[in-house]
Amino acid sequence: MTSRITCQVRDGAPITVVRLAGALDVTTMRQVYAVLDRSLAGQPDALVVDLAELAVRDQLALSVFAAAARRATDWPVVPMVLSAPHPEVAAALAGSTACRLVPVRRTRAEATRVAVAWAVPRLRVRLEPVATACRRARELVADACARWNLPEAVGPASVVLSELVGNVVRHAGTPMQVTVTLRRPWLHLTVLDGSRAAAQPGEADQRDEGGRGLLLVRQLAERWGSAPAGDGKAVWATLPAN
């Protein structure tokens, strides 16, 4: 028997809602993950997944929600809440080891309230691939750290974000979206550009024209990475928020 599932996405400010209807199994979970991934990549303040019309045919497929929540931890840093499951689906979620850390609420209204409460502060700016982009990125970090009272994070975060932006200017050459997000205990820095080429650190003796490279990002950041995003990629880094 062929499983069918539909995924309706409602992009609203500040919450995006994904409504799932049909049967979830190891086949349809791929479609669900793709939709959740695209919705998270839009960087809403939070994501609510409505399970009111979802049936679960294979409990292993519930791991799709844990996988999406883990995907959002470092980037795009979007809280995700599951809502309104039928009692049998709620029981399956409660019994799933993989989903223990994914919050579930009985109604969509309750899930939305929780999602709004958990929404993280962000500052964003759109930049062109020009020489002044790095300076504008440093200004964004300074503004964010001043608003959130993170004086010790200004220096390292400015260096890291400036390098991520400079990498786009030098190599991707596309417009970019730069985001600074606070989700304690971490400060998250992200640059979205229009190039699919993954960012790679150089060798120890390779430096760009500023004497800094992605090696410096790797040294200063607690974690960093590159992930596909739409028609381009996101390069992100996390630093202690202190």
**pLDDT tens-digit readout, 121-167:** 999 999 999 999 999 999 999 999 999 999 999 999 999 999 999 99
pLDDT for the residue numbered 205: 43
pTM over 0.85? The answer is no
CA distance 217 to 240: 14
Virtual torsion, Cα 109, 69, 19, 226, nearest 10 deg: 130
Cβ neighbours of residue 91 under 8 Å, at least 6 residues apart? Answer: none
CA distance 167 to 59: 43
pLDDT for the residue numbered 86: 94
Give the right CATH number for 5-118 from 3.30.1050.10, 3.40.30.10, 3.30.750.24, 2.60.40.1840.
3.30.750.24
pLDDT for the residue numbered 101: 86
**Tokens matching residue 9:** 């996405």
Could you report the average pLDDT of every consecutive run of 10 residues in the chain (242 residues)?
84 88 96 94 91 95 95 89 96 90 93 90 95 96 97 96 93 94 95 85 45 76 89 93 88
What residue has token string 């086949």? Answer: 27
Parallel, antiparallel, or unpaired for β 232-240 and 186-193?
Answer: antiparallel
Domain ranges in the chain are: 5-118, 122-240
Fold classified for 122-240: Heat Shock Protein 90 (3.30.565)
Q: Is 115 helix (H, G, I), strand (E, B) or coil?
A: helix
pLDDT for the residue numbered 171: 87
pLDDT for the residue numbered 122: 92
Query: Number of helices (H) and strands (E), helices first, in the chain?
Result: 7, 10
The answer to whether 236 and 74 are in contact (CB under 8 A) is yes
CA distance 85 to 147: 38
Cβ neighbours of residue 228 under 8 Å, at least 6 residues apart? Answer: 196, 234
Burial 7-23 (b: 16+ CB within 10 A, else e): beeeeeeebbbbbbebb
